[in-house]
Amino acid sequence: MSTSRDLLGEVVNAVGRRPAPPREDYEYVLESAMAAWRRKVRSRRRRRWALAIAASAAIAAVGGATLLRWLPPRGLMPVVAVTAVIRADVTIRAPRERDWHPLQPSAEVAAGSRLRTGARAGLALRLDDGTSVRLDSRSELELQSATTMRLLSGTLYVDSGPADHSSAHLRIETSTGTATDVGTIFEVRAEPGRLRVRVREGRVQVDASHSATHIESVAGEELELNDSGVPRHRRFAPTDPAWAWAEALSSPGDVENRPLLPFLAWVARETGRKLQFQGPEVEAHAREVVLHGKTRDLTPLQALDLMLSTTDLEYMLSADEAIVIRRRFE
């Protein structure tokens, strides 16, 4: 039987044990090696820190430049509105900017910003005091401040609340004239050499740009003004179908587990109609109803259809343009 040989062991035994180096030589070589290793590590760390510092400086420079471009200086360009509803192609040009960018949902809009809507677009803004401002398609608006806007083209709808609302009067400037609300719901349309104002509720004061003409327009009326300052009045119903574009940009917010009555009041206001009940017992019952569901992307009357479908109530539109709430007939 053969056995394996330990060749390495035989060689070591044949050569014998090497003499150990002097202690001082050993320590000298060890210290030299450690010093060289430390120098190499420090060099690598310095290079990494230098690269990191350079990269941080570059990022800070780019970030600082971006912030300077996109963020308004504190106190100079305050936020005057927040995006409430966006339909299709809506763009914004921030103050001191030359380029237009897509407007985002729930975005804050600073004074000095310009807003533009596309061919089938629409936009609703909410001001700090709760005023609803809506921009129709193919329109451009400049928000000069919380109380002054310039309609460069297209159509604007304003719901500033009831006449006793404590907010400051909102001025809508155009090249032809300026419309100032007195607690109202109204629409302004700006065209070259022409200003049109339709009042749905309350009243509006209109001042011509090129003359001393001062006119007041009231609910249910349309006023047209040309560059010469000559006004033209005609009746325009608060329930006219032409208000539909503004109604489509309205929103009652989250109605889940909310009482029915405030929702009914919202629908009536958004459609320019009065709210009526078919008897006091129906009104008393309506006060106890709690809503369930969502109304997203629905017009006010569509939302009313949907919400009442979950209750034992229904509505009808009367000849005098009221929304009448009644019990559902089986």
Query: 10 Å Cβ neighbour count for 260?
Result: 20
Q: Which CATH architecture has domain 79-242?
A: Sandwich (2.60)
Structural domain boundaries in the chain = 24-71, 79-242, 251-327
Instruction: Record the pTM.
Output: 0.73
**Do residues 171 and 147 lie in contact, with contact meaning Cβ atoms separated by under 8 Å?**
yes
Amino acid 77: pLDDT: 82
pLDDT higher than threshold 50 for residue 310: yes
Question: What would the pLDDT profile of 47-67 be if each residue is shown by its tens digit?
Answer: 555 555 455 555 444 444 444
* Cα angle 115-120-123, degrees, rounded to a multiple of 5: 40
Amino acid 80: pLDDT: 94
Phi then psi for residue 78, to 5 deg, are -70, 155
Fold of 251-327: Phage tail protein beta-alpha-beta fold (3.55.50)
Question: What would the pLDDT profile of 1-46 be if each residue is shown by its tens digit?
Answer: 444 555 555 544 554 555 555 554 545 445 555 555 555 555 555 5
Q: Please state, in angstroms and rounded to a whole number, the distance separating the CA atoms of residues 279 and 261.
A: 15
The three-state (H, E, C) secondary structure of 256-315, written as one string: CCCEHHHHHHHHHHHHCCEEEECCHHHHHHHCCCECCCCCCCCCHHHHHHHHHCCCCEEE
Q: What is the mean pLDDT of residues 213-224?
A: 93
Amino acid 330: pLDDT: 52
More confident residue, 244 or 69: 244
Q: Give residue 8's region: left, alpha or beta (phi > 0; psi -120 to 50).
A: alpha
Q: Please state, in angstroms and rounded to a whole number, the distance separating the CA atoms of residues 24 and 176.
A: 100
Question: What would the pLDDT profile of 120-173 be if each residue is shown by its tens digit?
Answer: 999 999 998 899 999 999 999 999 998 999 999 999 999 987 655 545 689 999
Question: What would the pLDDT profile of 251-261 be if each residue is shown by its tens digit?
Answer: 888 899 999 99
